[in-house]
Chains A and B, each alone.
Chain A
Amino acid sequence: MANIDRILFGDNQFFGVNHMSEEKARQQLVKFKDSSAIIKVLDDAYDMGIRTFMCTTHDRIGEICDHMRADRERYKDFIYFPCMPYAHKYANSVSQIGVMETIQRFAPGGVMSTIVRGAVGTLTRDVYSLMSLLIDAEMKRFERLNTPVIFLQNVVTDLLLGLKLYPVFREFSRYINERYGAEAGFITMNLPLLLDALSQAGVENPIVCANINKIGFRMSGGVDAYRDLLRTRKCRAIAMSVLASGAIPPQEAIQWVSGLEGLQSIVFGASSHGNIRQTQELIHSYWGADR
C-alpha cells in the first residue's frame, strides 16, 4: 500500500490556475514561464522535507521530469503523484476539431480503426483499451520516476460519477495497479457521492482528494457530510483547497482542517520559499510534525 506523506505539494500556482483572481493567475503564469522557476520552488519544498509533488499531466511537466531524471542522486526521494488528464487540452481540442478527431489525435496506434468499425461485441474491450492508451500517453513523461499514486482528475471523476459509469473506476484502479504497480487516486468535488460509487464499484479503502475547507467552498454535500465521512468511512483522504483560493486566512484555515478526525494529508501550493515554510510550520504546529 502506498505510503502517503502528511504534506503534499500541489501545482495550480505554476500553471495560472487561481479560482479567485484572473489577475493573480496571470502574474503567476509570468513568474513561472520558465521551468527553472518551477524547479527552484520544488527544490525549496524538497529541501524542507516536502517530497511529494501532486501534479497535473500538463505539457510542461515533461521538462520538470527531465530535470529530475538527469540528477537521480539529488532527487532520489522525490515522489510524483500524477493527476490526469490535463482536461483543458482535451476540452479545447474537442471544441476545435470534435470528439472522434480528439481521440485520434491523442490515442496513438490503431484504436480509432477498431472504434470506427464499431463492432458492439468488442465495445468493452475498445473503451478500456482506449483508456489504457490514453493513460500510457499521459504517463510516458514519468518514465523511470517514482509514481506510487496516480490520480484521475476531478473533471473526469465527476463526469463518470454523474453518468454513473462506476465500473470505469474499478478498471482505472486495476490498470494503474497492474501496469504501473501504483495505486489509483480520485480527485472529486463530490466526495460523499464518490465514496458511495467507489464502494459500489468494489474499490476498497480508496485514495481520494477533495476540496476540504472551513467555508465549504466546492464541497458538494456540505461541510458536515464531509466531517462525518472522514470520521466514519474507510478511505485515505487528501484535503485540497484548504485556504479556499485565499478566502480563508492561512492560520484559521489550517487550524480548522487539522482538527478533522480521519484526514490523511493536506496538499497545498505555494510560490515562494517563505510561503512554503509558513504553511509547513502551521501544519506542524496544529497537526504534529510527522505521521
Chain B
Amino acid sequence: MGIRVGIVGAGKMGLSHFAIANALPDTAVVAVCDTSRYVASVLNKYAGVQTFSAYEKMIDEARLDAVIVATPTSTHFACAQYALERDVHVFVEKPLTLSPAESRALSELAIRQQRINQVGFHNRFIGTFQEAQRLVRAGALGKVSNVHGSAFGQVVVKEQNRTWRASKSEGGGCLHDYASHVIDLLNFLVGPPAHVRGARLQTIFSRNVEDAVSAVFAYPGDASGILETNWSDDSYRKMTTTVTIHGTGGKLVVDRQELQLYLREPRGFEDYVEGWNTRYITGLQKPVGFYLRGEEYSAQLEAFTDAIRTGNMAHENSFASAYETDRVVDLIIQANKAAG
C-alpha cells in the first residue's frame, strides 16, 4: 500500500505538487481540496481524485497518510494543526506561518505526534546551494565574516496584483514571499542571525504590501549580513536568488546555476584550486525520478515521502528550521517598525 496524499489548494504550487507527488513511486494523490468549484470539478472528472471544499472534511474522510498544504500563508496554521492532530504527515508551502509562536507550536505538535513535518523552502534541494553549504561547513572559506543574500524578480510590476499575494493579512508581500526564501537559504548556509540591526520594508507599486525588503543581520561570532529583495524588477525573467559569502579563506558566490569559489590558500581546497573556481548545476544536481519545473521541487517531495517511509524525523526543512526563518522575518518587521 502506497502513500495516500491529499492536496489543500489547487493553485500554481498545489497543482505542481499534485503532479510531482502523483508521479513518485508508491505515492498517489487521492484527494484535492479547493474553494474553486471549477478547478475541483475538472480534477475530479479527469484526474479521478475525490474533491472537497473544506480541508477538515477531506482529512476526516479521505484516509490520507499525508497532506500538502499550498494555500495562502494565513491558513497554514489551522490546516497543519488539524492534520497533525489526526496523525497525518504534513508538507506546507513556505513560509510556515505568519507568526513565530504559531510556527513553534506546530513544530512541537509534530514532534509530539511523531509526524513528518516539512516546509517548501526548495532552495535547500538545489545542487549549487547544497555544495555551498558543504564548503562552508568544511571550512573552505575559513571564518565567515560577511554574507549577502538577494532575490529579484517580477511579481508586481506596475499592474496591481489582484491575488492573495497583494494582501498583507493573508501573507502577501515581498517579505513573506521573496525575502523568506533568502532568509531560509542564509540560515541553511551559515546558520540564523542573532540580531537584525536594521530593516526597511518599501512599497514601490503595491498599495497594501511591501515590494522591497532590506535588512542588516548580526551573526553569532561577529559576522554580519545584508539582505536585499525586490519583486518589482522585470529585468529578471524569473525569481533569481544569489548569495555571496566572504571568509578569511576566500569568497563564494552562488546562484541556482553556478557556484564560484575564490580561494586565498595556495594549496586550494579538495579539488578547488587557488583563485577562482566555477562549478555548474549540471555537475552538481542529483537526478530526480520525475522532472516538472526544477529538480528541487521533485527532490523535496522525494525527501518528504522517504521520511514518511523511514520515519526519519531528522529530515531537511522541518517545521523547527522553518520556525527559525519565521523568527527572522518577525525580527525584520520589528526593526522596520522601530525605525518608524
Interface residue ranges, A against B (CB under 8 Å): 16-22, 25, 88, 91-92, 94-101, 115-116, 118, 120, 123-124, 127, 155, 158-159, 161-165, 167-168, 189-190, 193, 215-222, 244-247
Instruction: Collect the chain A residues with CB atoms within 8 Å of residue B258's CB.
Output: 20-22
B290–A95 contact, CB under 8 A? no
B237–A155 contact, CB under 8 A? no
**Interface size for chain B: under 10, 10 to 19, 20 to 34, or 35 or more residues?**
35 or more
Contact with A along B139-183 (1 / 0, CB 8 A): 000000000000000111001011101000000000000000000
Instruction: Collect the chain B residues with CB atoms within 8 Å of residue A167's CB.
Output: 46
For residue B283, CB closer than 8 A to chain A, the reply is yes
Contacts A20-B257, A116-B38, A190-B23 supplied; 18 other A-B pairs, CB < 8 Å = A21-B257, A22-B258, A94-B11, A96-B155, A96-B156, A96-B159, A97-B159, A115-B38, A118-B41, A123-B42, A123-B45, A127-B46, A159-B15, A162-B23, A163-B46, A189-B292, A220-B288, A247-B280
A219–B287 contact, CB under 8 A? yes
A220–B19 contact, CB under 8 A? no
Q: Tell me the B123-150 residues at the A interface (CB within 8 Å).
A: none
B162–A190 contact, CB under 8 A? no
Q: Which of B11, B15, B37, B292 contacts A118 (CB 8 A)?
A: B37
Interface centre among B47, B282, B288, B290 (most CB of A within 10 A): B282
Can you give 28 contacting A-B residue pairs, CB < 8 Å?
A17-B237, A19-B281, A19-B282, A22-B257, A22-B258, A97-B159, A97-B162, A99-B36, A118-B37, A118-B38, A120-B41, A155-B293, A159-B16, A161-B19, A162-B18, A162-B290, A163-B15, A164-B22, A165-B47, A167-B46, A189-B291, A190-B290, A218-B291, A218-B295, A220-B288, A220-B290, A246-B280, A247-B280
CA distance A162 to B295 in the complex (A): 14
Chain A residue at smallest Cβ distance from B16 = A159
For residue B289, CB closer than 8 A to chain A, the reply is yes
Chain A residue at smallest Cβ distance from B24 = A162
Chain A residue at smallest Cβ distance from B231 = A95
A91–B12 contact, CB under 8 A? yes
For residue B20, CB closer than 8 A to chain A, the reply is yes
A120–B19 contact, CB under 8 A? no
CA distance A124 to B42 in the complex (A): 8
Instruction: Collect the chain A residues with CB atoms within 8 Å of residue B43's CB.
Output: 163
B41–A95 contact, CB under 8 A? no
A193–B23 contact, CB under 8 A? yes
Min CB–CB distance B220 → chain A (angstroms): 32
B255–A95 contact, CB under 8 A? no
Q: Tell me the B38-67 residues at the A interface (CB within 8 Å).
A: 38-39, 41-43, 45-48
CA distance A53 to B46 in the complex (A): 34
CA distance A19 to B165 in the complex (A): 28
The 6 closest A-B pairs by CB, nearest first: A162-B19, A247-B282, A189-B291, A162-B23, A220-B291, A97-B162
Instruction: Collect the chain A residues with CB atoms within 8 Å of residue B214's CB.
Output: none
Contact with A along B1-43 (1 / 0, CB 8 A): 0000000000110011011101100000000000011110111
Min CB–CB distance B134 → chain A (angstroms): 20
Instruction: Collect the chain B residues with CB atoms within 8 Å of residue A220's CB.
Output: 287-291
Instruction: Collect the chain B residues with CB atoms within 8 Å of residue A215's CB.
Output: 282-283
Min CB–CB distance A140 → chain B (angstroms): 23
CA distance A222 to B39 in the complex (A): 34
CA distance A251 to B38 in the complex (A): 51
A158–B292 contact, CB under 8 A? yes
Min CB–CB distance B11 → chain A (angstroms): 6
Instruction: Collect the chain B residues with CB atoms within 8 Å of residue A221's CB.
Output: 289
Chain B residue at smallest Cβ distance from A157 = B292
For residue B240, CB closer than 8 A to chain A, the reply is yes
Min CB–CB distance B73 → chain A (angstroms): 15
Chain B residue at smallest Cβ distance from A158 = B292
B22–A162 contact, CB under 8 A? yes
Contact with A along B296-309 (1 / 0, CB 8 A): 00000000000000
A95–B165 contact, CB under 8 A? yes
With A118-B37, A159-B15, A193-B290 known as contacts, the answer to whether A22 contacts B282 (CB < 8 A) is: no
A161–B23 contact, CB under 8 A? yes
B41–A123 contact, CB under 8 A? yes
CA distance A96 to B280 in the complex (A): 31
Min CB–CB distance B236 → chain A (angstroms): 9
For residue B238, CB closer than 8 A to chain A, the reply is yes
Chain B residue at smallest Cβ distance from A23 = B258
Min CB–CB distance B29 → chain A (angstroms): 8
With A220-B289, A247-B280 known as contacts, the answer to whether A100 contacts B22 (CB < 8 A) is: no
Instruction: Collect the chain B residues with CB atoms within 8 Å of residue A127's CB.
Output: 42, 46
